[in-house]
Structure 1
Amino acid sequence: MIAHSAQLAARSDEDRVTTTDNTVIVLDGATAHDPTRPQAGKYVDELGKQLRQRVPNSDDLRAAVAQSISATSEQLHLVPGGSPSSTVAIVRVTTHTVDLLVLGDSAVIVGTLDGSEHVLIDDRLTRIDLPESRAYRNRLSTGAGYDDQHRDLLQQLQRAEGRQRNQPGGFWIAEADPTAATHALTSSYDRTQVAWAIAATDGAFDLLPQLGISWQAVAELTSPELHELLRRCHAWEAETDPDGKALPRAKRHDDKSVVVIHP
């Protein structure tokens, strides 16, 4: 396996990329918009370490993620419902397969030798369609920008999301309850049919289409070229859409991580 990667941190700096000889793990810690909520930095550091120990040789990716969440919760003394959280995206290359897992809204795109592209993304949080989410996006689309009212709406949204997090009918994400991992989305491909795979946090996944760049083109980039691409995303946010009017998003700049994998 050959992997090229790049990261560009925003203020939160809570994305993490971990690689082994056969595995790529991408984490995106949830930003705490409410200052009373815990930050995710220590959580993603520990979760990444635990996943690195278990995922590469596990017979069951969901079980490996569950065990890693449990170990992280024990190590950091976390309580379900009141702890930091993170998305998880995994690409693992074995002798015969390329195995994928996503939990939360990071994404994996797979390009196969027949020219097809396949996207694995967990959109359950989006499908809940919370009114607080609609409210802040509607304000941004009218040009209101990132003002105090926007920040108040994000705090309301985070409280509303907390009531739906790791609940039936809600959405699932790595936090303190390992049973969330049983709801992760998985997929597997014949290794001989995979040309490339890309793992990306939403800060990159949502922005790259705005630049008009195909995933096939992204898959051809090296690490320095990927870093330059993320800088272009950052510049687009700052110069073309600084108020989130064209692409309503919670923050002007989010952490951005992207990894290109060649099996």
Structure 2
Amino acid sequence: MQVTFASEPAPGAAENEDFVAATADAVVVLDGVTVPCGLSTGCDHGTPWFVRRLGGSLVALLATEPEALLIDLLAAAIRKTAGQHAATCDLEHPGTPSATVAMLRERDGVTDYLVLCDCTVLLDGPAALRVITDDRVSRIRWGTYAAVYQHVVGPDGVQREVPVPEHWHHRNHADGFWIAGSDPAAAYHAVTGSVPCAGLRRAAILSDGAARLADRFDLVSWPTLLHILDRDGPAGLIRQVRDAENLDAERRRWRRAKQYDDATAVLCRFPEALAP
């Protein structure tokens, strides 16, 4: 498996709250949940700290426990990360740092995948392109939009829609959505599966900030997005996302909480795609 990736913070952001790492046979992508300015989360460390530690734990576990189920590895990583700040932070706070997760792993002739919350995995196999995502957060986000977002006019005079704490109470509940935070049980609600490596040509992992061309903006189809990713590379795909975001600076065409988002794109090419 040949892996290339790019990860960029949103323009103007102080830090990138995404995380990406690859080993010889696995890839991990995390997308940290941005905390609206002025809201307390009960944690002294913040989202970037949380994402780096959760991602690092996942990579270490993938390397040392190659036969373990991905959901078990995610649960163990959540548990370990929670233990690193349980003594100083309120992990019961509904806004405690959290992240979406996507993983891909080659093992014994199969490719395993895991998606928790709104990352996306694309699998380009012998039949149709498979699009694997977890849309439970989208159903909450847009189905109860008035309850979980409020309109705020910034200092530049532009009206923005930002999350309010009510959104937090939908996290990690059966009638809401599941995300990696402080509760290891969330891992067991991830979307998981395995496909044979034979016939698999390409795969992609996208944070929601990199998937916007297809899923939020509906500018291209998923096969076209994968073609862009293969032709122009992960950084090229992210450039096209930024171009689209700039066309709708006031977010009137495409409703979204932020004009820009951190964006991470990963392309995996398998032997069939690499053959002459």
Structure that is richer in helix per residue: 1
Does 1:217 pair with 2:227? yes
- Check whether the contact 1:5–1:259 (CA below 8 A) recurs between aligned residues: yes
* Correspondence 1:163-182 to 2 at 5 A: 163-182=169-188
**Structure ranking higher on relative contact order (CA contacts 8 Å, 6+ apart):** 1
- CA apart distance, 1:132: 2.6
TM-score (norm 2): 0.83
How far apart, CA to CA, are the structure 2 residues paired with 1:86 and 1:185? 15
* Correspondence 1:96-115 to 2 at 5 A: 96-114=109-127
- Check whether the contact 2:204–2:226 (CA below 8 A) recurs between aligned residues: no
Corresponding residue for 1:235? 243
Of 103-112 and 4-13, more deviation after overlay is shown by 4-13
Does 1:252 pair with 2:259? yes
Three-state SS of the structure 2 residue aligned to 1:232 is: helix
Three-state SS of the structure 1 residue aligned to 2:210 is: helix
Corresponding residue for 2:102? 89
Three-state SS of the structure 2 residue aligned to 1:161 is: helix
How far apart, CA to CA, are the structure 2 residues paired with 1:32 and 1:4? 29
Distance 1:242-1:60 versus aligned 2 partners, 3 A rule: same
Identity across the alignment (%): 30
2:220 partner amino acid: G
* Correspondence 1:1-263 to 2 at 5 A: 1-10=1-10, 11=13, 12-38=15-41, 39-56=46-63, 57-77=66-86, 78=89, 79-80=91-92, 81-114=94-127, 116-128=128-140, 129-132=143-146, 150-151=159-160, 153-156=161-164, 159-208=165-214, 210-212=218-220, 214-221=224-231, 225-238=233-246, 240-263=247-270
- Check whether the contact 1:145–1:245 (CA below 8 A) recurs between aligned residues: no
Paired positions, count: 251
1:217 partner amino acid: H
How far apart, CA to CA, are the structure 1 residues paired with 2:145 and 2:95? 22
Distance 1:211-1:6 versus aligned 2 partners, 3 A rule: farther
Three-state SS of the structure 1 residue aligned to 2:162 is: helix
- CA apart distance, 1:18: 1.0
1:31 partner amino acid: T
- Check whether the contact 2:105–2:112 (CA below 8 A) recurs between aligned residues: yes
How far apart, CA to CA, are the structure 1 residues paired with 2:146 and 2:37? 14
Structure 2 spans left out of the alignment, 5+ residues: 271-276
How far apart, CA to CA, are the structure 1 residues paired with 2:146 and 2:157? 15
2:242 partner amino acid: H
1:112 partner amino acid: G
- CA apart distance, 1:237: 1.0
- Check whether the contact 1:102–1:121 (CA below 8 A) recurs between aligned residues: yes
Three-state SS of the structure 2 residue aligned to 1:91 is: strand
How far apart, CA to CA, are the structure 1 residues paired with 2:245 and 2:117? 23
Moved over 4 A (4+): 133-136, 144-151, 208-211
TM-score (norm 1): 0.86
- CA apart distance, 1:211: 5.0
* Aligned Cα root-mean-square deviation (Å): 2.5
How far apart, CA to CA, are the structure 2 residues paired with 1:257 and 1:146? 29
How far apart, CA to CA, are the structure 2 residues paired with 1:231 and 1:130? 31
- Check whether the contact 1:211–1:233 (CA below 8 A) recurs between aligned residues: no
How far apart, CA to CA, are the structure 2 residues paired with 1:180 and 1:23? 21
Distance 1:149-1:236 versus aligned 2 partners, 3 A rule: closer
Distance 1:215-1:155 versus aligned 2 partners, 3 A rule: closer
- CA apart distance, 1:154: 1.6
